[in-house]
Structure 1
Amino acid sequence: MTRTELSTIGEFGLISRINQQFTPQLSQTIKGIGDDAAVIDTGTDEYLLVSTDMLVEGVHFDLSYAPLKHLGYKAIAVNVSDIAAMNGIPRQVTVSVGLSNRFSVEAIDELYAGIQAACEAYKVDLVGGDTTASRSGLVISVTALGVVEKSKIAYRNGAKPNDIICVTGDLGAAYVGLQLLEREKREFLENPNMQPELEDKSYVVGRQLKPEARTDIVYELQDAGVIPTSMIDISDGLASEILHLCTQSGVGAQVFEENLPIADETYLANDEFKLSPLTGALNGGEDYELLFTIQQSDYEKIKNSPHISFVGFMTNQPDQVELITKGGGRFPIQAQGWQHLSK
């Protein structure tokens, strides 16, 4: 029997392979695998949204610098972000944890204190879950449930040529925050008496350890009367996500470097590592901002929003997804973010 290594197809190849084996059988299943959340028709004027994410110790987080309370908060936030990426409102979550015997009752209390804080912040109820033993460290699996009016749902595949590409917040901070934390960990291992040098780095470190889901944008768009033509959250980097929208919508894109939102704190932190802030913005990931497209006629409704940047537009050339640099150069956008299931 031929053996194919997972690293040869990657996470998205694996998802596609699984998806090819399953065709929804029930009329209530409106959308299955392939978007930020599954979409289920409940027979009302709203769809039910369902999304699941897993965080695994040593893969998604490092407990040497990730406080358990922050980790609990992040576990909820990244799942709520998937509901927001469908233009939906989160309602309930379930949380399942795999625990080794190195964790005390007090440590688990701390984890769930973060979960509770996130539930309060996003106005969701914890309604269930599971606990089990783990021999490979801490594992957290969260399922988020939400709702969206049928007429307002936003999929990844609805973008049209000339739609405006929008990004919330700022990009690349979580990536450079991770670089700082990894640097401090290395230095601590070499000298356990050292003190962390993270003064004035609270913004970028916080963006890594305790990201926020942009549910506020869902309400803002609703109040403005704007329904995105396509939408996705930025978990694997802007480049990866814009390629998802283009591939599923059958369009191309032009993204302008000068319009990408990058915070001053991110620029300063990148200087320490001699890194390009553009690299983190395009490929860093874990920003959990929203990337979406709107019709040009909706631009006037949100053009003054302090939370939204207009970074480019979709085109009718699906084979051309380009970054336009400040100097006028054109470069194909390629997904070079974190590769799941790599060797």
Structure 2
Amino acid sequence: MDEFASIHHWTGARQSAEWQQRRGVVLGIGDDTAIVDVGLAEEGVAAPKRMLLAVDTMVETVHFNDATMREEDIGYKALAANVSDIAAMGGVPLHALVSVSVPRAWGPERMRRLYDGLYACAERYGVAVIGGDTTSSPEHLVIAVTVTGTVEAALALRRSSAMPGDAVFVTGAVGMAAAGLHALLAQRVDGAAEAAHPIIVQAHRRPAPSVRAGRLLAAHGLGCHALNDVSDGLASEAWEIAEASGVRVVLHETELPRSGSMAAYASETGMDPLEWMLYGGEDYALLGTIDKTSVIAALELFRKEGIPFFLIGEIEAGDAAVELVRARAAGVSHSGKQEKRVQLAKRGYNHFKR
């Protein structure tokens, strides 16, 4: 198939015209430029609104390979990464532009399955796929997705707004995606990891952006100050908040939420789950800070919505830093002394670290 036939094969009849019109799409896939009416893009949201824009790229052998991801999972995750960035602003994702560079090894049906996963994510989060670009690639697949969204001008949540005295929270367990990747790489027999550890493998292959949590934090007057998504690891995201806000982030080891599936797999393999939790990434839970006077209201609202909400630390005045209060060792008396604090390394996934 030529370029245009391929695009039609991958994208044709995936989303009805009526469905796209509800997202404000005037002209979608077919022309070189899409047309979107932002004023009609989200019903029930009062103006003024701000447009949000996010882009993410996934490269074969860097972000995924045949041992860890199926074609459908690659498409799903490529869109989910951007949806998560919109969620971290408290916004609503609306539209996606998808660019792919396709090598010969990725024939029409492999690409069709990739788009199956991408559209599954789009349907779950209400995203209209409205265009993109297609080129050839000499060796590896590259997929780049740009997502637009909106948020009320007064409600956008940033990394730079944490304040001393805030409580620190996270909206889900962390470390699961990293544990899933470890399992996939360790158990190379096709399907073995998925059969033995389905929950953590699913967490790696199809992480769930926290769009509803972001909207609750933005739109319900909960006193949320700073927000970030856990894409590169909890420690890395905490450092981003600390540096952007000029504060010290203090996390408590005993309060960090651990998945039972992750903890069981760590015990089975002799791995340290804290390493996955702090430095693994790709969980897409939201890490943020909230006025302590709003904590009870936030806990109650999230409980009613059935969304996790864990208090894991606090914000202190001081030079930008991230510290972890370590758990006491069993049977060790501290004679009333403070538990030991350690500064967390400013690391997570870094493409250019040598």
In the TM superposition, what is the alpha-carbon distance from 1:49 to its structure 2 partner?
A: 0.5
Partner of 1:85: 88
Cα offsets for 1:72-110 (capped at 9, x unmatched): 111111100000111111010110001011112111111
Contact 1:229 / 1:294 at 8 angstroms: preserved in 2? yes
Partner of 1:24: none
Letter in 2 for 1:74: K
Cα offsets for 1:272-319 (capped at 9, x unmatched): 221111111001111111111111121121123341101011000125
Q: Is 1:314 aligned to 2:315, yes or no?
A: yes
Partner of 2:31: none
> Residues 13-28 of structure 1 correspond to what in structure 2 (within 5 A)?
none
Partner of 1:210: 206
Partners of 1:223 and 1:86 in 2: CA distance? 11
What is the DSSP-based 3-state SS (H/G/I as helix, E as strand, rest coil) of the residue aligned with 2:192?
coil
Question: How many correspondences in the alignment?
Answer: 295
In the TM superposition, what is the alpha-carbon distance from 1:221 to its structure 2 partner?
A: 2.8
Contact 2:193 / 2:201 at 8 angstroms: preserved in 1? no
Contact 1:224 / 1:301 at 8 angstroms: preserved in 2? no
Letter in 2 for 1:339: N
Q: Is 1:331 aligned to 2:334, yes or no?
A: no
Contact 2:233 / 2:277 at 8 angstroms: preserved in 1? yes
Letter in 2 for 1:121: R
Given candidates 97, 106, 109, the residue that maps to 2:109 is: 106
Cα offsets for 1:44-76 (capped at 9, x unmatched): 501100010000000011123311111111111
In the TM superposition, what is the alpha-carbon distance from 1:223 to its structure 2 partner?
A: 6.0
Contact 1:76 / 1:119 at 8 angstroms: preserved in 2? yes
Q: Is 1:284 aligned to 2:286, yes or no?
A: no
Partner of 1:272: 268
Partner of 2:32: none
> Residues 10-89 of structure 1 correspond to what in structure 2 (within 5 A)?
45-89=48-92
Partner of 2:24: none
Partners of 2:297 and 2:191 in 1: CA distance? 49
Partners of 2:321 and 2:204 in 1: CA distance? 32
Cα offsets for 1:162-195 (capped at 9, x unmatched): 111110110001111111101122xx4xxxxx87
In the TM superposition, what is the alpha-carbon distance from 1:200 to its structure 2 partner?
A: 4.2
> Aligned-residue CA RMSD in angstroms?
1.8
C-alpha spacing 1:128/1:169, structure 2 compared with 1 (3 Å): same
What is the DSSP-based 3-state SS (H/G/I as helix, E as strand, rest coil) of the residue aligned with 1:204?
helix
* Bigger shift: residues 215-224 or 231-240: 215-224
Letter in 2 for 1:59: V
Partner of 1:130: 133
> Residues 130-149 of structure 1 correspond to what in structure 2 (within 5 A)?
130-149=133-152
Contact 1:177 / 1:206 at 8 angstroms: preserved in 2? yes
Letter in 2 for 1:261: P
Partners of 2:166 and 2:197 in 1: CA distance? 36
Partners of 2:234 and 2:175 in 1: CA distance? 9
Partners of 2:197 and 2:182 in 1: CA distance? 11
In the TM superposition, what is the alpha-carbon distance from 1:329 to its structure 2 partner?
A: 1.6
In the TM superposition, what is the alpha-carbon distance from 1:339 to its structure 2 partner?
A: 2.5
In the TM superposition, what is the alpha-carbon distance from 1:320 to its structure 2 partner?
A: 4.4
Gap runs ≥5 in structure 1: 1-40, 189-193
Partners of 1:337 and 1:172 in 2: CA distance? 12
TM-score normalised by structure 2 residue count:
0.80
Partner of 2:17: none
Given candidates 102, 109, 118, the residue that maps to 1:115 is: 118
Cα offsets for 1:232-291 (capped at 9, x unmatched): 111110001101101110001211111101110000111122111111100111111111
In the TM superposition, what is the alpha-carbon distance from 1:211 to its structure 2 partner?
A: 0.6
Letter in 2 for 1:342: K
Moved over 3 A (4+): 197-200
Given candidates 296, 301, 317, the residue that maps to 2:297 is: 301
Q: Is 1:255 aligned to 2:256, yes or no?
A: no
Letter in 2 for 1:332: Q
Partners of 1:336 and 1:123 in 2: CA distance? 33
What is the DSSP-based 3-state SS (H/G/I as helix, E as strand, rest coil) of the residue aligned with 2:351?
coil
> Residues 218-257 of structure 1 correspond to what in structure 2 (within 5 A)?
218-222=214-218, 224-257=220-253
Contact 1:51 / 1:79 at 8 angstroms: preserved in 2? yes
Contact 1:283 / 1:335 at 8 angstroms: preserved in 2? no
What is the DSSP-based 3-state SS (H/G/I as helix, E as strand, rest coil) of the residue aligned with 2:195?
coil
Partners of 1:136 and 1:162 in 2: CA distance? 51
